Amino acid sequence: MTRPLVKICGLKFQENLEAVLELSPDYVGFIFASYSPRYVGDGDIVSETIANLSQVKTVGVFVDEEVERVLDLASQGGFDVVQLHGSESVEYIGELRKGFSGEVWKALSVKDSTPSFSQYEEVCDKLLFDTHTKQGGGSGEKFSWSLLPEESASPFFLAGGISSEDASSILDLFQCYHQLCGVDLNSKFESEPGRKDVALLSTFLEEFRT
Protein backbone atom coordinates (compact mmCIF):
# COMPACT_ATOMS: atom_id res chain seq x y z
CA MET A 1 0.00 0.00 0.00
CA THR A 2 1.26 3.49 -0.87
CA ARG A 3 1.87 5.59 2.22
CA PRO A 4 -1.36 7.45 3.06
CA LEU A 5 -1.31 11.20 2.64
CA VAL A 6 -2.04 13.54 5.54
CA LYS A 7 -3.66 16.95 5.17
CA ILE A 8 -4.01 19.15 8.24
CA CYS A 9 -6.64 21.74 7.51
CA GLY A 10 -8.05 24.90 9.04
CA LEU A 11 -4.78 26.42 10.26
CA LYS A 12 -5.05 30.03 11.35
CA PHE A 13 -2.17 31.06 13.63
CA GLN A 14 1.48 31.53 12.73
CA GLU A 15 3.14 29.89 15.74
CA ASN A 16 0.72 26.97 15.58
CA LEU A 17 1.45 26.49 11.89
CA GLU A 18 5.16 26.27 12.68
CA ALA A 19 4.52 23.57 15.29
CA VAL A 20 2.31 21.61 12.91
CA LEU A 21 4.97 21.70 10.21
CA GLU A 22 7.31 19.83 12.60
CA LEU A 23 4.96 16.84 12.15
CA SER A 24 5.73 16.74 8.40
CA PRO A 25 2.22 16.64 6.95
CA ASP A 26 1.90 16.27 3.20
CA TYR A 27 -0.54 19.18 2.92
CA VAL A 28 -1.66 22.09 5.08
CA GLY A 29 -4.98 23.76 4.37
CA PHE A 30 -6.18 27.34 4.81
CA ILE A 31 -9.88 28.21 4.76
CA PHE A 32 -11.10 31.26 2.85
CA ALA A 33 -14.80 31.07 3.73
CA SER A 34 -15.60 34.19 5.74
CA TYR A 35 -18.32 32.49 7.82
CA SER A 36 -15.90 29.88 9.14
CA PRO A 37 -14.24 30.32 12.56
CA ARG A 38 -11.11 29.08 10.81
CA TYR A 39 -11.17 31.84 8.20
CA VAL A 40 -7.59 32.97 7.76
CA GLY A 41 -8.68 36.54 7.14
CA ASP A 42 -9.13 36.84 10.89
CA GLY A 43 -5.89 35.11 11.83
CA ASP A 44 -2.24 36.07 11.70
CA ILE A 45 -1.19 33.90 8.75
CA VAL A 46 -0.66 36.29 5.86
CA SER A 47 -0.38 35.37 2.20
CA GLU A 48 3.36 35.99 2.21
CA THR A 49 3.80 33.36 4.93
CA ILE A 50 1.79 30.77 3.03
CA ALA A 51 3.56 31.52 -0.22
CA ASN A 52 6.95 30.88 1.40
CA LEU A 53 6.12 27.40 2.69
CA SER A 54 8.48 25.29 0.62
CA GLN A 55 8.54 22.14 2.78
CA VAL A 56 4.85 21.28 2.40
CA LYS A 57 2.11 21.54 -0.21
CA THR A 58 -0.48 24.22 0.50
CA VAL A 59 -4.23 24.04 -0.07
CA GLY A 60 -6.61 26.98 -0.33
CA VAL A 61 -10.16 25.98 0.62
CA PHE A 62 -13.02 27.94 -0.98
CA VAL A 63 -16.81 27.71 -0.81
CA ASP A 64 -18.83 28.99 -3.80
CA GLU A 65 -16.42 31.85 -4.33
CA GLU A 66 -16.14 33.88 -7.51
CA VAL A 67 -13.55 32.36 -9.86
CA GLU A 68 -11.57 35.58 -10.10
CA ARG A 69 -11.27 35.85 -6.32
CA VAL A 70 -10.09 32.25 -6.06
CA LEU A 71 -7.48 32.89 -8.73
CA ASP A 72 -6.35 36.08 -7.03
CA LEU A 73 -5.95 34.47 -3.61
CA ALA A 74 -4.35 31.37 -5.10
CA SER A 75 -1.80 33.57 -6.83
CA GLN A 76 -1.09 35.56 -3.66
CA GLY A 77 -0.68 32.42 -1.58
CA GLY A 78 1.14 30.38 -4.20
CA PHE A 79 -1.18 27.45 -3.55
CA ASP A 80 -0.35 24.01 -4.85
CA VAL A 81 -4.01 23.00 -4.58
CA VAL A 82 -7.40 24.69 -4.69
CA GLN A 83 -10.08 22.73 -2.81
CA LEU A 84 -13.69 23.54 -3.64
CA HIS A 85 -16.09 22.86 -0.80
CA GLY A 86 -19.37 24.23 -2.09
CA SER A 87 -21.75 23.54 -4.99
CA GLU A 88 -19.23 24.39 -7.71
CA SER A 89 -20.15 22.95 -11.11
CA VAL A 90 -18.03 21.19 -13.70
CA GLU A 91 -18.25 24.37 -15.78
CA TYR A 92 -16.98 26.45 -12.86
CA ILE A 93 -14.01 24.12 -12.44
CA GLY A 94 -13.24 24.32 -16.14
CA GLU A 95 -13.15 28.10 -15.92
CA LEU A 96 -10.95 27.96 -12.83
CA ARG A 97 -8.48 25.65 -14.54
CA LYS A 98 -7.89 28.21 -17.28
CA GLY A 99 -6.10 30.39 -14.76
CA PHE A 100 -4.77 27.91 -12.20
CA SER A 101 -2.02 25.42 -12.98
CA GLY A 102 -2.07 23.49 -9.70
CA GLU A 103 -4.33 20.66 -8.59
CA VAL A 104 -8.07 21.13 -8.12
CA TRP A 105 -9.91 19.01 -5.54
CA LYS A 106 -13.69 18.81 -5.12
CA ALA A 107 -15.22 18.11 -1.73
CA LEU A 108 -18.47 16.15 -1.70
CA SER A 109 -20.94 16.08 1.20
CA VAL A 110 -22.10 12.68 2.41
CA LYS A 111 -25.40 12.29 4.23
CA ASP A 112 -27.45 9.12 3.75
CA SER A 113 -25.99 7.81 0.51
CA THR A 114 -22.89 7.99 -1.64
CA PRO A 115 -23.00 11.34 -3.47
CA SER A 116 -22.77 11.52 -7.24
CA PHE A 117 -19.17 12.19 -8.16
CA SER A 118 -18.50 10.83 -11.66
CA GLN A 119 -19.02 14.25 -13.26
CA TYR A 120 -16.02 15.60 -11.35
CA GLU A 121 -13.57 12.83 -12.13
CA GLU A 122 -12.46 14.23 -15.48
CA VAL A 123 -11.98 17.80 -14.22
CA CYS A 124 -10.55 17.25 -10.72
CA ASP A 125 -7.29 15.74 -9.57
CA LYS A 126 -8.71 14.41 -6.31
CA LEU A 127 -12.01 14.20 -4.48
CA LEU A 128 -12.71 14.60 -0.78
CA PHE A 129 -15.66 13.03 1.02
CA ASP A 130 -16.88 14.97 4.05
CA THR A 131 -19.89 14.91 6.36
CA HIS A 132 -22.91 16.80 5.06
CA THR A 133 -23.67 20.11 6.76
CA LYS A 134 -25.62 23.19 5.71
CA GLN A 135 -22.36 25.08 5.25
CA GLY A 136 -20.37 22.33 3.55
CA GLY A 137 -18.29 20.93 6.39
CA GLY A 138 -16.66 21.69 9.70
CA SER A 139 -19.21 19.88 11.86
CA GLY A 140 -16.77 17.53 13.58
CA GLU A 141 -19.21 14.71 12.86
CA LYS A 142 -18.51 11.48 11.01
CA PHE A 143 -20.55 10.00 8.19
CA SER A 144 -20.88 6.27 7.66
CA TRP A 145 -17.62 5.21 6.05
CA SER A 146 -19.47 2.39 4.29
CA LEU A 147 -20.74 5.11 1.94
CA LEU A 148 -17.29 5.70 0.48
CA PRO A 149 -17.17 4.66 -3.19
CA GLU A 150 -15.78 1.21 -3.80
CA GLU A 151 -15.19 2.08 -7.44
CA SER A 152 -13.66 5.43 -8.30
CA ALA A 153 -11.41 6.57 -11.10
CA SER A 154 -10.09 9.38 -8.90
CA PRO A 155 -8.07 9.21 -5.69
CA PHE A 156 -9.94 10.65 -2.72
CA PHE A 157 -9.45 11.88 0.83
CA LEU A 158 -11.54 10.98 3.86
CA ALA A 159 -12.70 13.91 6.02
CA GLY A 160 -15.30 14.60 8.65
CA GLY A 161 -14.94 14.12 12.39
CA ILE A 162 -11.72 12.11 12.32
CA SER A 163 -10.20 11.98 15.81
CA SER A 164 -6.97 10.78 17.40
CA GLU A 165 -8.58 7.40 18.19
CA ASP A 166 -9.42 6.61 14.56
CA ALA A 167 -6.01 5.79 13.10
CA SER A 168 -6.33 2.01 13.19
CA SER A 169 -9.88 1.96 11.82
CA ILE A 170 -8.95 4.25 8.95
CA LEU A 171 -5.90 2.17 8.08
CA ASP A 172 -8.26 -0.78 7.63
CA LEU A 173 -10.25 1.26 5.10
CA PHE A 174 -7.23 1.48 2.83
CA GLN A 175 -7.53 -2.26 2.29
CA CYS A 176 -11.15 -1.91 1.11
CA TYR A 177 -11.18 1.36 -0.80
CA HIS A 178 -8.28 1.30 -3.20
CA GLN A 179 -8.61 4.90 -4.35
CA LEU A 180 -8.60 6.22 -0.78
CA CYS A 181 -5.33 8.15 -0.70
CA GLY A 182 -5.32 10.13 2.53
CA VAL A 183 -7.03 11.82 5.46
CA ASP A 184 -8.06 15.39 6.17
CA LEU A 185 -7.61 16.30 9.86
CA ASN A 186 -9.32 19.32 11.31
CA SER A 187 -11.72 20.11 14.14
CA LYS A 188 -11.18 17.05 16.36
CA PHE A 189 -7.53 18.04 16.69
CA GLU A 190 -8.07 21.55 18.02
CA SER A 191 -7.81 23.43 21.29
CA GLU A 192 -9.85 26.22 19.67
CA PRO A 193 -11.02 26.82 16.09
CA GLY A 194 -7.96 27.22 13.90
CA ARG A 195 -5.45 26.21 16.59
CA LYS A 196 -4.34 22.58 16.32
CA ASP A 197 -3.49 20.41 19.32
CA VAL A 198 -0.07 19.14 18.32
CA ALA A 199 -0.10 16.39 20.96
CA LEU A 200 -3.34 14.93 19.57
CA LEU A 201 -1.99 15.11 16.03
CA SER A 202 1.21 13.37 17.13
CA THR A 203 -0.77 10.57 18.78
CA PHE A 204 -2.76 9.97 15.61
CA LEU A 205 0.19 10.19 13.25
CA GLU A 206 2.39 7.90 15.32
CA GLU A 207 -0.08 5.07 14.80
CA PHE A 208 -1.19 6.10 11.32
CA ARG A 209 2.32 6.10 9.93
CA THR A 210 3.50 2.80 11.38
pLDDT at position 140 is: 76
Q: With DSSP H G I counted as helix, E B as strand and the rest as coil, what are the percentages for the chain, rounded to 5?
A: 30, 25, 45
Mean pLDDT is lowest, of 45-59, 85-99, 100-114, 132-146, for 132-146
Mean pLDDT of 3-21: 96
User: Which tens digit of pLDDT belongs to each residue from 164-182?
Assistant: 999 999 999 999 999 999 9
> Model's pTM, two decimal places?
0.95
Please give the backbone phi and psi of residue 62, each rounded to the nearest 5 degrees, phi first.
Answer: -130, 150
Mean pLDDT of 120-125: 96
Mean pLDDT of 54-65: 96
pLDDT at position 61 is: 97
**Cα-based distances in Å from 59 to 80, 88, 105, 111:** 6, 17, 9, 25
Q: Which H or E run contains 6?
A: strand 5-8
pLDDT at position 44 is: 81
Give which of 58, 10, 1 is closest to 184, Cα–Cα.
10
pLDDT at position 45 is: 86
Ordered domains of the chain (ranges, CATH):
5-208 (3.20.20.70)
Q: What contacts 24+ positions apart, CB below 8 Å, involve 101-109?
A: 102/74, 105/59, 105/81, 105/157, 107/83, 107/136, 107/137, 107/159, 109/133, 109/136, 109/137
Cα dihedral across residues 9, 28, 182, 179: positive or negative: positive
**Cα-based distances in Å from 140 to 6, 18, 55, 131, 157:** 17, 24, 28, 8, 16
Residue 14 has pLDDT above 90, yes or no: yes
Residue 11 has pLDDT above 60, yes or no: yes
